[in-house]
């Protein structure tokens, strides 16, 4: 593969965009090298500016669950665009997507649309604070909830990839209200609640973590959190920005049968356009302006093009009774194939998977939290990443990310991927 045009475009971008990118992980900082500039994509494939083609396991970091340029989404956006791109007034399509989302996800009556996952989580926490009248929040080390100040305390994803888990610019005043717990450690949460009696507004969690690689909740961890929260009048926020509409129609709440108080969405719900949302039962949502005192707003929130893309995406998922079963089977097939070739080549690894989220850590111990994820062999991951890229397989350029499986992937694509993993495994 040659990357002549990508390299030239990156050099040009670096002059006018910090680091040449508009979101840090894209810069390949964790794996070395310079980023690839993508020209177009269709189905499971990306095509870069040098006309190299890749099987894509990033899928725009999650949204493209049905593959790129999915026709119903493209058509919906094109048609809407002809009618004008933004009005700043209510539109019918906002109610349509809200009704559909509320019908698909358990335990929510109302939903508010925003423009990103960051906004969704930030607003959810403000709402939780407003609703409970308490200030502190508990988050988990290695979980990423966007780049709002309160969350940049031992965050996962790019925040850890770039070695600044506690970002400058977050004030001590803000940081003191964010308490940190270890993922999968209920005792830790219990201790924090005890040490901060009547001060904690909410616990926010990625109920299946995806920002330190994929880390499933251990049995009864989520149920235990639910009980602790109910006992202490704390709201439980599920950040389902990654998992929502991906792991099941109703997300993790449905998959593990655990009820959250507020749920955050992003990625899939926007079909590839900039959309986030947060939702809860009416009692909580009615605290938001204009009904209640908790302020939250957005010039482009509920934008018609974004809503058209999101609605077409949710409809496609809602109408396909087999979609989550198919995604599960494809991902399990990839899982088994990769495990086989890595084992045959004596590579030390751990593969974690829930539904269509999967990741490979080069670790001989189970990866169950941030510490165990951070202990994996990152040098080996770098080689793995570049080896796969060279074979035409594009995975996230950091071990602290999840691979997303799209339904557009065929078994032939999966076989090619397993063959690529085998080729690279021989070099590790
Ligand atoms: N929450 C989770 C679980 C995420 O994975 C992300 C983004 N990867 C966010 C929140 C933030 O979303 P956005 O990048 O759209 O602001």
DSSP E strand stretches across 154-304: 178-181, 200-205, 235-239, 262-265, 276-280
Compute the distance from residue 343 Cα to the ligand 1 centre, in Å: 33
Looking at the chain, the domain(s) classified CATH 3.90.1150.10 span: 4-69+321-425
What's the 210 CA to ligand 1 centre distance in angstroms?
Answer: 10
What's the pLDDT score for residue 167?
81
Q: What is the pLDDT along the chain (428 residues), one digit of tens a residue?
A: 899 999 999 999 999 999 999 999 999 988 999 999 999 999 999 999 999 999 999 999 999 999 999 999 999 999 999 999 999 999 999 999 999 999 999 999 999 999 999 999 999 999 999 999 999 999 999 999 999 999 988 776 666 655 445 788 888 888 889 999 999 999 999 999 999 999 999 999 999 999 999 999 999 999 999 999 999 999 999 999 999 999 999 999 999 999 999 999 999 999 999 999 999 999 999 999 999 999 999 999 999 999 999 999 999 999 999 999 999 999 999 999 999 999 999 999 999 999 999 999 999 999 999 999 999 999 999 999 999 999 999 999 999 999 999 999 999 999 999 999 999 999 99
Nearest Cα to 310, choosing from 87, 23, 65, 108?
65
The span from the CA of 104 to the CA of 96, in Å, is: 13
Write down the CATH number for the domain with range 4-69+321-425: 3.90.1150.10
Could you tell me if 341 and 157 are in contact, meaning their C-beta atoms sit under 8 angstroms apart?
Answer: no
Rounded Cα distance, 200 and 359, in Å: 33
**What CATH code would you report for 71-319?**
3.40.640.10
Is the ipTM value over 0.85, yes or no? yes
Give, using CA atoms, the residue closest to atom 10 of ligand 1. Answer: 145
Q: Residues 363, 366, 367, CA angle at the centre, nearest 5°?
A: 80
Nearest CA to 196 out of 275, 135, 276 is that of 135
CATH 3.40.640.10 in the chain: give the residue spans.
Answer: 71-319
Q: Is the CB of 402 under 6 A from ligand 1?
A: no
Q: Is 45 a catalytic residue?
A: no
Residue 366: CB atoms within 10 A of its CB come to: 12
The reported pLDDT for the residue numbered 163 is 45
Q: Is 57 annotated as catalytic?
A: no
- Distance between CA atoms of 48 and 1, rounded to whole angstroms? 11
Catalytic residue among 144, 324, 349, 394: 144
Contact 160, 140 (CB under 8 A): no
pTM of the model: 0.97
Which residues, at least 6 apart from 279, have a Cβ–Cβ distance to it below 8 Å? 101, 102, 105, 108, 109, 110, 111, 112, 262, 263, 265, 285
Cα 91 to chain center, whole Å? Answer: 28
Distance CA 88, CA 86 (A): 6
Ligand 1 atom nearest the C-alpha of 276 is: 15
| pLDDT for the residue numbered 169 | 87
Q: What residue owns the CA closest to ligand 1's atom 13?
A: 117
């Amino acid at each position: 593969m040659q990357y002549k045009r990508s390299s030239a475009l990156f050099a040009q971008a670096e002059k006018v965009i910090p680091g040449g990118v508009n979101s840090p992980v894209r810069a390949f900082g964790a794996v070395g090298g310079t980023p690839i500039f993508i020209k177009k994509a269709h189905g499971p494939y990306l095509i870069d500016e040098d006309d190299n083609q890749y099987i894509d396991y990033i899928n725009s970091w999650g949204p493209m669950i049905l593959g790129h340029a999915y026709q119903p989404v493209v058509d919906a956006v094109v048609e809407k665009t002809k009618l004008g791109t933004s009005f700043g007034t209510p539109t019918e399509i906002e109610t349509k997507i809200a009704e559909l989302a509320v019908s698909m996800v358990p335990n929510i009556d109302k939903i508010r649309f925003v423009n990103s996952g960051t906004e969704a989580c930030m607003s959810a926490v403000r709402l939780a604070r407003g609703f409970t009248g308490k200030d502190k929040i508990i988050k988990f080390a290695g979980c990423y909830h966007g780049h709002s100040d309160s969350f940049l305390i031992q965050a996962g994803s790019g925040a850890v990839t770039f070695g600044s888990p506690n970002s400058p610019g977050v004030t001590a005043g803000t940081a003191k209200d964010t308490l940190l717990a270890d993922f999968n450690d209920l005792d830790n949460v219990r201790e924090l609640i005890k040490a901060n009696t009547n001060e904690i507004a909410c616990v926010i969690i990625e109920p299946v973590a995806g920002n330190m690689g994929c880390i499933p909740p251990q049995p009864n961890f989520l149920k235990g959190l639910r009980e602790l929260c109910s006992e202490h009048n704390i709201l439980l926020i599920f950040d389902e920005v990654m998992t929502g509409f991906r792991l099941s129609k109703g997300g993790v709440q449905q998959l593990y049968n655990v009820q959250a108080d507020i749920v955050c969405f992003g990625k899939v719900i926007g079909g590839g356009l900039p959309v986030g949302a947060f939702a809860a039962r009416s009692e909580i949502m009615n605290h938001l302006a204009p009904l209640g005192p908790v302020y939250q707003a957005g010039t482009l929130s509920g934008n018609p093009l974004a809503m058209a893309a999101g609605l077409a995406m949710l409809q496609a998922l809602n109408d396909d009774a087999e979609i989550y079963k198919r995604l599960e089977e494809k991902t399990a097939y990839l899982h088994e194939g990769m495990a086989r070739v890595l084992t045959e080549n004596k590579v030390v690894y751990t593969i974690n998977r829930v539904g269509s989220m999967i990741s490979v850590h080069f670790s001989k111990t189970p990866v169950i939290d941030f510490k165990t994820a951070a202990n994996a062999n990152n040098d080996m991951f770098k080689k793995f990443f570049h080896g796969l890229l060279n074979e035409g397989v594009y995975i996230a350029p950091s071990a602290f990310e999840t691979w997303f499986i799209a339904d557009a992937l065929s078994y032939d694509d999966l076989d090619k991927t397993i063959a690529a993993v085998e080729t690279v495994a021989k070099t590790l």
